[in-house]
Amino acid sequence: MSHLDALKRDIDPSGFDVLDVGAGQGAFVRALACEGARATGIEVDEEAVARAKEVSGCDICLGTAQSLPFEPARFDLLTYIFSFHHIPEEFHNAAFAEAARVLRPDGRVFVAEPEIDGDMTRIVAAIDDETAVRTAALNSLSTLPQQHGLRRTDLAGYTLTRHYPSFDVLFAHLIAVDPARREKAALPENRNRMQDEFERRCRRTENGFELDQPVRCMMFDKTAALIGS
């Protein structure tokens, strides 16, 4: 199942003003636009923003989750696709405050977070062990949103299956989505550890390899009742 399929189980984004927070190079922004959404992305990495504009012309701007450069009540829907755990923990509360600010009164927030363990997690751990930041993100998602008038509903989890023609393609992708990984990735011993995990965990297919990542997802509703409480 894709992230978009998971979102569409609960909401049809067609005709919505949507902000994808932590948009990377714009893959989910493009997917939303293809569904008829008026999709915008925000991304903290300048290279990713430049690449997104160069490759696809996506509407992606530079900025952070804790300081969204948009007017109040601008969006019907915010999405965080594997991005919330990249927000520094000290900014989690501010990120929720900003989400609530830019949402319309009946707006919603969709969050998809990788489970703490999984094949991809184990492969990436050689250069970026995300256990602590993912745990902190899930804790914040459980405790902070209600302080900002956002009511949480846990949705059915799903498995994201990713396809790669080779380990080299996966390796390049993992560095591209988080440039901070480059220094550790440059060490041969780390790359070798990653490749060993890749070969241990992947499934071979006719066109390359597949890896599974279990995903936890949730929806937050901003309702008039909660706003007034």
pLDDT in tens, 6-29: 999 999 999 999 999 999 889 999
Question: Predicted confidence band at 119 (pLDDT cuts at 50, 70, 90)?
Answer: confident
CA–CA separation, 209 vs 182, rounded Å?
Answer: 23
- The pLDDT assigned to 76 comes to 98
In a domain, 198, yes or no: no
pLDDT at res. 174: 85
- Asked if the model's pLDDT at residue 99 lies above 90, the reply is yes
17 found inside a domain: yes
pLDDT at 179 over 90: no
Among the listed residues 116, 120, 115, 91, the one whose alpha carbon sits nearest the alpha carbon of residue 178: 120
Please report whether residue 209 resides in a domain: no
Kindly report, residue by residue over 33-88, the tens digit of the pLDDT: 999 999 999 999 888 888 887 876 789 999 999 999 999 999 999 999 999 999 99
Q: Tell me which H or E stretch contains 6.
A: helix 3-8
Residue 121 lies in a domain: yes
Residue 185 lies in a domain: no
Distance of alpha carbon 161 from alpha carbon 146, whole angstroms: 32
174 within some domain: no
Domain that holds residue 10: 3-160+214-228
Please report whether residue 35 resides in a domain: yes
The residue with tokens 């929806």 is 219
Angle between the N-to-C axes of helices 167-177 and 188-201, in degrees from 0 to 180, rounded to the nearest 10: 120
Q: Is 194 within the bounds of a domain?
A: no
Indicate whether this model's pTM tops 0.85. Answer: yes
What is residue 96's predicted lDDT score, i.e. its pLDDT? Answer: 97
Question: What CA–CA distances, in Å, run from 72 to 16, 20, 141, 205, 207?
Answer: 16, 16, 22, 48, 47
Here the tokens at position 101 are 């600010």
Number of domains the chain contains: 1
CATH number of the CATH domain containing 36: 3.40.50.150
> What is the rounded average pLDDT for all residues in the chain?
91
Strands (E), the chain: 17-21, 38-43, 60-62, 75-81, 103-114, 150-164, 203-205, 208-222
